[in-house]
Structures are given as structure tokens and as C-alpha cells.
Structure 1
Amino acid sequence: MAEDDPLAWETLDSEVAYACPGFDIRHEDVRLPDGTKTDFDYLSESESVVVLPFTEGGDVVVIEEWRQAVSRVSRGLPVGGVEPEDESLEASAHRELTEETGYEADRVSHLTTVEPANGIADSVLHYFVARDCVPSGKQELDHNESIRPSTTTFDALKEKIQSDSVYDGRTVLGILYYEAFSDRAFSE
């Protein structure tokens, strides 16, 4: 959107108010379209990839991961940040899948890109479908990750979402988007 749009806010000053591994909190002084000066804080993080991985047999590789913010194990899809050394978003998807699950994909294809919470964060999620995934060895987890990979059927994962057993919004969005908009005949 152009900065000359009548809805655009003018950023007068911007600084990192708090930094930690994984994200920053930015503080900005802004001028609203009516001329009012105020401030705005938001979470800033690097772009991430979310991978919907299918095995050669058509099952979905999922992970169970401890989530400290909600004090429980969360079941979902592999997700991770795009690294500066990644040659492409596809390379990020391949790397994150292997690091978190120990599986490698024959190929990945872009599904969609979303801004999941653009009222409070600059987060961008790039969704990929990984095909013909096979176990390749061990996981390469980050120092602060506790992850258990497993497989399930696509229909069973949808049933878990429907029964309120999967809470991770990135996973719910990816599964439902895939179900609604992808060509299932191509993927199976």
C-alpha cells in the first residue's frame, strides 16, 4: 500500500523497546491520518515457513512440542524461521522439516502466504506442502526445542481440529487452507 494512501500512518520514530531470541518488541511514534500523534508497539519477528509434510504413503508428519506460553504439549505442523543462509523459502521449508522431524521431502510447493496477526505483529508465514517425505535420520533441534515427531492420516488430523484437540492456529490454518483450496487429486 502506498504511503500516500489516506489511511496510512506516518512513522516519526522507531526503536526496539525489548529484544530477545526469536522476536523484538518495536515502539514507534506515529502520526495518524487526522494529524494526531501517538505511539504504537508491536511484535517483530523474521518470516517463517510452515510445512504440511506428506509421507510417501500419504500420511502427515506432525510434531508434538512443549509450548511454555500455554504450559502444554501442542500438536501441529513443523514451523520455523527463515535463516539468512537459506537460498530460498523452499530451502527454508526443506531445512525446517528435516531439523524438526528428521524427515526429508522429495519436493516442496508453495501453498499460501499469510500475515496471521497484522494488527499486533509483522509476522509473515509462508506455507509449503512437502511431498514424498521419508525419515532421513535424527532431528537437529534448536537449544530451546522439545519436539516429538509422529505421523497421522490427513483425515485424522482434520478430525482432531474439528474436535478442538489441535490448538495451534498455524496448523489449523494450513490444514483448512489445503483442504479448501488445493487440488487433492494431485497430492494423493
Structure 2
Amino acid sequence: MTTDPLAWETCERRVAYSCPGFEIVNESVRLPDGTETEFDYLSEPASVCVLPFTPADDVVCIEEWRQAVSRLNRGLPVGGIEPEDDDLEAAARRELAEETGYEAEGLEPLVTVEPANGIADTLMHFFVAEGCRPTAEQQLDHNESIRPIELSLEELTDAVADGEIRDGRTVLALSYYRLFDAACSQSKTE
């Protein structure tokens, strides 16, 4: 139990709405000052996002229709962790192969974040994949419309910087990768 004076106490929890992929949870909570109120949030399984590099150091991206914003979205392979996944790396490898038809020689964890913890319990695990090659056909879910493409790291970075790519998971993956890459490069020169 959390003992921090800022902690809220959950008095009751119920699923207000459920559909494949996520739930809307309603909680009756008691705030630190004793006020009782309601709090709703989106609850979904943890997921993985892969920043996949080919042997030529291009990034394997996807173009996918996103109904919520009514447009074609360019981004990175992302998907939920499934019960048959042995671990996070297995989930990342599966999502990469399913969405792009590419497989990676190696995979390294990059970072884990809670990208919207004010409104969702989303937990996103980011990976960098190296040596990615097209080895199979895509295995898309019934509600996915995805086309794999390759971009140079600079093209991807420019598309994010210019606001052409607005997918938050892609922005986070690239930002952390560039941040950590810059930090590693800086420490090597010191």
C-alpha cells in the first residue's frame, strides 16, 4: 500500500466499457483531503515498439491507416504483448515480423515508458532491432492495413522534426534513441 501523502485511495473499481484491445475503467477514489470522486482511465495490456534497422542502417517503418485520426500514419511497428509471448523480446520479434515481414538478427531494450499516465495505464517497452531483413510475408490482424517502407535515419528524424510524423510512439522511440546515442557518443569522446 502506498503511504505517500499525495496518494489516492481506490474505494471501488469497475470496468465501464470493454472491447478488444482495451477497457475504460471507472474508479471511486478518496483524495488526500478526504474528498470522494470518480476517476476514469483507459486500461490496456503492455505493448512493444520496435525501432528496426536494416544492415544498411535504414529504418523499417510502416504506413498504416489510423481511423481515429482519419489519415495514413507513418511510424514504427507496435503491438500488444500476447499470452504466448515468452518475454518482451519475443513480443518485439513477433510484432516486427507480423507487421513488416522483417526479422532481426539482434534486439536490445531501449527504454520503458508510461506515455500517457494521466489518462491511461499504458506501459510501452521500446526496442532497437539490428540486421533486419525481409524474410517472410506480413501476418496482419483483420483490422490492420499496413505497408512496410524503409527510410534513412535522417529521413525519419526530419519527418519527426517537421511534424510529418506525429505518432507518439515513433517520436518517443526516435527521441530516446537519438538521446542515448548522443550520450554514448559524448562519453566516448571524454
Same fold? TM cut 0.5:
yes
SS at match of 2:49: strand
- Give matches, 1:109-128, under 5 Å: 109-128=108-127
Match of 1:96 in 2: 95
SS in structure 2 at match of 1:166: coil
Unaligned stretches of 5+ in structure 2? none
Amino acid at match of 1:46: P
Amino acid across the alignment from 2:99: E
Task: Indicate the SS of the match to 1:18.
Answer: strand
How many aligned positions are there? 184
- Cα distance change, pair 33–111 in 1 and its aligned pair in 2 (3 A): same
Moved more, 89-98 or 2-11: 2-11
Runs ≥4 in structure 1, deviation > 6 angstroms? none
Q: What's the counterpart of residue 14 of structure 1?
A: 13
Q: SS in structure 2 opposite 1:55?
A: coil
- Give the CA deviation at 1:162: 1.2
Deviation at 1:29, TM superposition (A): 0.3
- Shift of residue 176, structure 1, vs aligned partner: 1.2
Residue in 2 that maps onto 1:82: 81
Deviation at 1:105, TM superposition (A): 0.3
Where do 1:7-156 residues align within 5 Å?
7-156=6-155
In structure 2, the partner of 1:179 is 178
Q: 1:134 to 1:184 in 2, by over 3 A?
A: farther
Distance 1:92 1:82 in 2: 6
Match in the other structure for 2:4:
5
The whole-number CA distance in structure 1 between the counterparts of 2:163 and 2:3 is: 43
AA in 2 matched with 1:86: D
Q: Could you tell me how far apart the structure 1 residues matched to 2:115 and 2:67 are?
A: 20
For the residues of structure 1 that align with 2:7 and 2:175, how far apart are their CA atoms?
32
| Secondary structure in 2 matching 1:8 | coil
SS in 1 for 2:3: coil
Q: Secondary structure at the match of 2:90?
A: helix
The TM-score with structure 1 as length reference comes to 0.95
